Amino acid sequence: MSDPLWQQALLDQDLKSGQVVKVSVAGMKIMLVRLEDGTVTAASPICPHQGEDLTAGKLYMGAIDCPRHHYLYDLHTGENRYPRNVFPVDLAVRLAPLRLYPTKIEDGWIWFQASRKR
């Protein structure tokens, strides 16, 4: 807890399975997700494609579905899962991943490390 990089985000009990929540911590907006396998992910809420708010998206098999163009981002790795898996190579390499942050659960809170990419 003494590590200044770790930020307290949300009470662990306030994030239910399958829920997507946006929190504001020290002026920074973070998307928190609890996947059905129990994994908690902290990520940027901004779609890397065209800046849509991902917190309005739904979860599909461990990925968040952007409500605008339905791009899928893997919430374990941040990788674009779709359309990266079907695009021609020259276009696929241009698809930016979703930024994820290291996360931990401690003392009943969800914490994330703001300045480090996962």
Partner 1 sequence: MGRVAREVVEKSGINLEQLIKKLVAAAGAEFTTFYYYTILRVAAIGMDGEGLKEIIEDARIEDRNHFEALVPRIYELGGELPRDIRGFADVAGCPDAYLPDSLKGGKSPSGASLKDLLTVLVEAERCAIRCYTDICQFTQGKDPRTYAISAAILNEEIEHEAWFSEFLGEGPSGHFRRGKPGASPYVAPFMTADHG
Pairing of strands 20-25, 6-11: unpaired
Is 9 or 72 the residue whose CB approaches partner 1 more closely? 72
Is 97 or 102 the residue whose CB approaches partner 1 more closely? 97
Least separation in angstroms between residue 81's CB and partner 1 is: 10
Least separation in angstroms between residue 108's CB and partner 1 is: 32
The total of other beta-carbon atoms located within 10 Å of residue 25's CB is 15
**Which ranges of the chain does DSSP label H, i.e. alpha helix?**
89-92
Looking at residues 30 to 89 of the shown chain, list those that interact with partner 1 (rule: CB under 8 A).
Answer: 58, 60, 65, 67-71, 82-83, 85-89
Least separation in angstroms between residue 82's CB and partner 1 is: 6
The burial class, CB within 10 Å (0-12 / 13-18 / 19+), for 26 is: exposed
Q: Is 26 in the site for partner 1 (CB under 8 A)?
A: no
Backbone angles phi, psi at 46, to 5 degrees: -100, 125
Is 65 or 74 the residue whose CB approaches partner 1 more closely? 65
CA torsion, points 53, 57, 61, 62, in degrees to nearest 10?
30
Is 82 or 109 the residue whose CB approaches partner 1 more closely? 82
